[in-house]
Chain A
């Protein structure tokens, strides 16, 4: 279950339009990023420290960005701990330098970076697909260490292309949807969808918007109803995306 953040300390929420992060890919060096931060309207102390953190699942890097009065990177902005830029999110943190030192004064979280050719910040994809060198002989795995991501074995040549083939799409994505919904509904979710909620609510909302789906999500304590609802959701997803046709295309050698 997600942690609900209660703001007892007057921490300010930095608006998304005041944070612009662009990520650059390169074949021969780690991905790097640039950040433009507009902190001028938040009435924060000039000497407060600014940090940008990049994260994906359990991978995390932190970069010093000077102070509110002089925002500028102090470290090379290389994402050396991330093998690929897929699914990397950012947060901006401003913390007090004076007593109490370290108090969080302002924060923006879950910032989705844009690519150099994008004018607008794109929406956070519900499911990021990320290559992984840790899967051994597994082709794919859903990782739940933060919001779900689909790990694909990095040993697959042209793994990005592979994830778009009819056979992969028709076999893997329905299984992924089933696993994620089961994870949500079997682990104590009340079945309510919160507006602007965490990934649980986002996935449940996605499922309720599939054709023919009921918006009444069963609560976890009714496992039979939850299983039935998941079956219906996966069925609706497959209908919507004509998964059987995709598979037949592969089977008939057309894909």
Chain B
């Protein structure tokens, strides 16, 4: 059974029909990526899964339980963490305080300590800046913090929204290496990414989203070969 199963999900922004029946599955241990152009509904899909924008229709099944309509703040205790678009770190808290917020719902001090050490292993840069105000860090460091903070809840499923946004190519490369490493340590990842190139490089499978509906899905390697995908999203003619 898949860890996450989305069945025929419809979501609206007011009267705008943003998602028109999105269905996808994420198996335990996978990195699944959602690619698509601006406004295709990638972020909306994540928001709908995460309960920020409850879907009007359809099912979201996580670990065998229907969770559509569950508010966002209950997701973390179910094992779903999100690193939201635009990072949304607590800019006036220090790095340490931000990471502690990620473990807000937990009370096992030892476990929190272990996980913080693990985050510092993944992102040594964060340890150097532990007492720094998060808002004063560079974009790349803030992205690391957002991912680190999401990991602090020890999630089973990590939702990543545009981790490459606003970062230099070198940094994108590094962040994606770390995402691969996080996955290798056992966290399932659903990755929304505009930079289809890097996303398909680390993903197991991919879905292509167009105007609120899935138009294609295949193993990542296959999508990379697909002439249509190459033309539309990988910048080749």
> Do chains A and B stick together as partners?
no
Interface set of B (CB-CB < 8 Å, partner A): none
